[in-house]
Structure 1
Amino acid sequence: MAQVRKTRHAVYNINYHLVWIPKTRMSILAKPFNNTVEETIKRVCAYNDWKPLALQVMPDHVHFFLSAPPRWAPSQIVQSLKAWTSRDLRERFAIIRQTRPETDDLWASSYYCGTAGHVSAEQVERYIRENSREY
């Protein structure tokens, strides 16, 4: 369940649903690779003060729902997660090093990002519309 979190200078409820895929959508994330991806994501989250809310590593894509402080842009989060998971997979598994050399990206460059909070977009729109004033 997503909750309001605090930093020294902000109170926030910023939650991102991120999805990314291996380059060419190859099904390379089955066991034991998925365990490495999960472990790495959790480690990167702990280091950066991101709160994992849900994580599912599928053979051909990753779904991740997390809460992050407002200083983090979604693109920074995805870039960090892709970089660290790629590095760890290459270090731990020779088959990844052999089939995906360092010069070849493991992950596709694109990703999906959606946001979610404790209120829907419709509720925010209605609140703004109903509480607007002439200045």
Structure 2
Amino acid sequence: MTLEFITALFLRVSQKSLLNKMDARNLAVEMAPIIIWQKGREPDMYRQYWIQPQKGPSNHNLEPQPVYSAWDLLSDEGEAADASSLIPLDDGVPVDFGAIEVVQCLIEHHNAIFTDANETIWK
């Protein structure tokens, strides 16, 4: 049932690809490594998002958060750091074209694969 709803959402997004530039292929390329992978090749880069946060209040962060004003955000100080160097690149991760093709097929043929898709109600 979850796969049906995920692919229904992707289909809906891809139907508006003229506005958002995310057709079925682009969605498959971006989302396939997250939702489908081969046994033993789990994407470790997403593991930080899978860890469930603690439900109760934490004693680790009792210090008050610093207060910033709009002027602090606009100041030129501290802009020596190159923002592009902080973005992690996953160049070493092999691309699983099989998973991309499967997700693209699920998106493009969603209504034929999930026969109850016509009954899906979007609110």
TM-score strictly above 0.5: no
Q: Higher strand proportion, which one?
A: 1
What's the TM-score, normalizing by structure 1? 0.20
Larger radius of gyration: 2
* Relative contact order, higher structure (CA 8 A, sep 6+): 2
